[in-house]
Amino acid sequence: MEIISTFTAALLTVEAFTGTYGINYGRIANNIPSPDKVVTLLRAAKIKNVRIYDADHSVLKAFSGTGLEIVISIPNENLKDMSANEDHAMNWVKQNVQPFLPDTLICGIAIGNEVLGGSDFELWTVLLGAAKNVYNAVKKLDLDGLIQITTAHSQAVFSNSFPPSSCKFRDNVAQYMKPLLQFFSQIGSPFCLNAYPFLAYMSDPGNIDINYALFLSTKGIYDPKTHLHYDNMLDAQIDAAYAALEDAGYKDMEVIVTETGWASHGDDNEKAATIDNARTYNYNLRKRLAKKKGTPLRPKNVVKAYIFALFNENLKWGPTSERNYGLFKPDGSISYDIGFQGLQSSSACSLLSTIKNYWRQITGKKELWHEKGGRGCYEHQISVAITSALTMLLFLQ
Give the pLDDT confidence score for residue 243 in this predicted structure: 99
Whether residue 114 lies in the annotated active site? yes
Give the pLDDT confidence score for residue 375 in this predicted structure: 45
C-beta neighbour count of 396 within 10 angstroms: 17
- Is the model's pLDDT at 330 over the cut of 70? yes
Contacts of 360 (CB under 8 A, 6+ apart): none
CA angle 25, 26, 27 (to 5 degrees): 120
Contact 320, 270 (CB under 8 A): yes
Give the pLDDT confidence score for residue 206 in this predicted structure: 94
Give the pLDDT confidence score for residue 372 in this predicted structure: 45
Give the pLDDT confidence score for residue 13 in this predicted structure: 52
For the chain, strand residue ranges (E) read 21-24, 49-51, 69-74, 105-113, 148-153, 158-160, 168-169, 191-194, 221-223, 228-230, 255-260, 305-307
Give the pLDDT confidence score for residue 357 in this predicted structure: 57
- Cis peptide preceding 163, ω within 30 of 0: yes
Dihedral over alpha carbons 174, 179, 181, 182 (to 10 degrees): 140
The half-sphere exposure of 5 on its side-chain side, counting CA atoms within 13 A, is: 3
Ordered DSSP codes for 71-130? EEEE-GGGHHHHHH-HHHHHHHHHHHTGGGTTTSEEEEEEEEES-TTSS-HHHHHHHHHH
**Domain chopping of the chain, boundaries:** 6-323, 348-396
259, 270, 313, 367: which is the annotated catalytic residue? 259
Angle of helix 35-45 relative to helix 377-396, nearest 10 degrees, comes to 160
pTM of the model: 0.84
- Is the model's pLDDT at 147 over the cut of 80? yes
Q: Is residue 301 classed exposed, middle or buried when 0-12, 13-18 and 19+ CB atoms within 10 A define those classes?
A: middle
Whether residue 322 lies in the annotated active site? no
User: Residue 71: what residue type?
Assistant: V
Residue that wins the pLDDT comparison between 395 and 157: 157
Q: What is the pLDDT of residues 160-182, one digit of tens each?
A: 989 999 999 999 999 999 999 99
User: Residue 151: what residue type?
Assistant: T
Report the percentage of the chain scoring pLDDT > 70: 82
69, 114, 254, 313: which is the annotated catalytic residue? 114
Distance of alpha carbon 294 from alpha carbon 185, whole angstroms: 21
Query: By mean pLDDT, which of 53-57, 276-280, 348-352 is the weakest?
Result: 348-352
**Cα radius of gyration (the chain):** 23
Q: What is the pLDDT of residues 194-237, one digit of tens each?
A: 999 999 999 999 999 999 999 999 999 999 999 999 999 999 99
The CATH number of domain 6-323, selected from 3.40.1160.10, 1.10.150.20, 3.20.20.80, 3.30.70.980: 3.20.20.80
